[in-house]
């Protein structure tokens, strides 16, 4: 998915643009989904690609939504990130190359992968069975 910078600025709010297109980070404990326990699929807010599900979401108490695995292989890509004096792995949407957050490993969480995908809420949109049904009814 290729869009110009101007197109992204028109389609996204200033905060969405800052995080998704400029690799920003929202403040901890302020995002819409950091403590959400609703069942559903988390899509990329920029392009709608399905990235994570509530089945892999867990409470890491870090202030951002945390997942132990993406929905499917190939939905996210990884970039070695050495900004801010840290050595970490950036997670991006494979479809539109939007910044989602970072991947951390070996932190001792009792999850099947011992990985924490620390994802900005503003990078995601939660689609539940309820809001998927209402969207389908509206489009009919």
Q: Annotated active-site positions, please? A: 118
Query: Among all chains, which residue has been given the structure tokens 């994802």?
Result: 119
User: CA nearest 97: which of 56, 36, 44, 29?
Assistant: 44
Triad 65, 68, 70: Cα angle to 5°: 90
Are the C-beta atoms of 31 and 23 separated by less than 8 Å? no
């Amino acid at each position: 998915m290729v869009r110009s910078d101007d197109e992204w600025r028109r389609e996204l709010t200033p905060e969405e643009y800052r995080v998704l297109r400029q690799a920003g980070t929202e403040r901890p404990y302020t995002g819409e989904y950091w403590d959400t326990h609703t069942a559903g699929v988390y899509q990329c807010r920029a392009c709608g690609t399905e990235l994570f599900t509530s089945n892999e979401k867990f409470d890491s108490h870090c202030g951002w939504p945390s997942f132990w695995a993406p929905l499917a292989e190939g939905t996210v890509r990884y970039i070695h990130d050495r900004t801010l004096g840290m050595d970490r792995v950036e997670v991006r949407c494979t479809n539109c190359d939007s910044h989602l957050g970072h991947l951390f490993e070996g932190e001792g969480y009792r999850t099947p992968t011992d990985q924490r995908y620390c994802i900005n809420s503003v990078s995601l949109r939660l689609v539940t069975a309820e809001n998927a049904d209402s969207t389908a009814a509206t489009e009919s």
